[in-house]
Homo-oligomer: A and B are copies of this chain.
Amino acid sequence: MLRGGIDLGGTKIQAAVVGPRGAVRGEARVPTPTTGGPADVAREMAAALSESAAQAGVAPSELLGVGVGAPGDADPDGVVSAASNLPGWSGAYPLAKELSELLGTSVRVGGDVQVATEAEFRLGAGKPYRSILGVFWGTGVGGGMILDGKPWTGRGNAGEIGHTVIERGGARCPCGRRGCMEAYAGRSAMQAEAEHRHKKGEKTDLFKIMRKRGNDRLKSGDWERALEHGDKLAAELIDRAVKALGTGVASAVNLVDVEGVILGGGMGIRFGERYMGDLRKEMGKHLFVDDRPPAVEVAALGDLGGAIGASLLAGSR
């Protein structure tokens, strides 16, 4: 029996149709609408899922169900609120209900980062461990936890590792506070810093590359291209991000002492292997039990992890 999964991101909507043990039978990606409102987003989600289903040779209504990993807060009925990265979504929207009508199958909604963490735990790089911390390095930095085999979500908002303070009074974070890990490591904060330094006269090809590739903001691929061209500012800012991640992740490990740390997200997947030595070294500086660091691995499910993780929710109620 096939399941559908949709990862609803601020930049893109990634859908997948998934068979047993996470085998992907179809997948489609569309840009997240930047105008309109939740209903427009839901329509694009349905379109992407339908395309994935067509690839898999089924109609959406034949799926066991569809799971969604969403930003913001999702209640048990799939009403999503405070998804501030999405157009016109400041209020609450009954996403599960609306999407279910569009697709003709049941829909369940979970947190984007938490479903991606569960996917890595059950099917990806987290399989060998009973407790993991998922760190998703992308536009921002999110986190998810599995403790003793079970998701730990606290009062519903656990895992906000991006807002671990690593430097009091430090860099301004997109969240408005200062010194958060995300203020150094989030792609959005990295872009702001690059713009700031570029305006002050530092040389960089980052923005030339961005425009040439038809992007209106710096994507992970733009950073990679710049790095490959020997761009000094890009290299410095990625280095700064990795140092911040190492500090914040070490503090988290000191607190929860998990067996494994799984690094995902657009930046994590693209740069994880290349910077793994630096990340481990930086963590080592701050780990209290430094002779027994946790395993640190790059997410194995790649870009599809969110959608695969979401599919695990399908039909689960």
**Chain A residues within 8 Å of B, Cβ to Cβ:** 131, 143, 145, 147-148, 152-161, 163-168, 175, 177, 180, 247-248, 250-252, 254-259, 285-286, 288-289, 292, 294
| A163 contact from B161, B180, B286, Cβ within 8 A | B286
A285 to chain B: closest residue by CB? B177
Q: Are B157 and A286 in contact (CB under 8 A)?
A: no
Q: Are A167 and B164 in contact (CB under 8 A)?
A: no
Q: A288-B160, A289-B160 are in contact. Are A257 and B166 (CB under 8 A)?
A: no
| A131 contact from B154, B166, B180, B286, Cβ within 8 A | B154
Q: Are A168 and B288 in contact (CB under 8 A)?
A: no
A/B interface sample: 24 pairs, CB < 8 A: A145-B255, A147-B147, A152-B256, A154-B257, A154-B258, A155-B258, A155-B259, A155-B292, A155-B294, A158-B257, A159-B255, A163-B251, A164-B254, A164-B255, A165-B251, A165-B286, A166-B166, A167-B168, A175-B288, A177-B285, A251-B251, A252-B255, A255-B255, A256-B256
* Min CB–CB distance A169 → chain B (angstroms): 8
Which chain B positions have C-beta within 8 A of A160?
254-255, 257, 288-289
Per DSSP, chain A at the interface is loop
| A167 contact from B147, B167, B255, B289, Cβ within 8 A | B167
* Min CB–CB distance A183 → chain B (angstroms): 12
Q: A155-B259, A157-B288, A168-B247 are in contact. Are A254 and B163 (CB under 8 A)?
A: yes
| A257 contact from B147, B153, B255, Cβ within 8 A | B153
Q: Are B165 and A247 in contact (CB under 8 A)?
A: yes
Q: A147-B147, A163-B251, A251-B165 are in contact. Are A155 and B257 (CB under 8 A)?
A: yes
CA distance A160 to B255 in the complex (A): 5
Q: Are B165 and A250 in contact (CB under 8 A)?
A: yes
Q: A167-B168, A168-B247, A247-B168 are in contact. Are A255 and B161 (CB under 8 A)?
A: yes
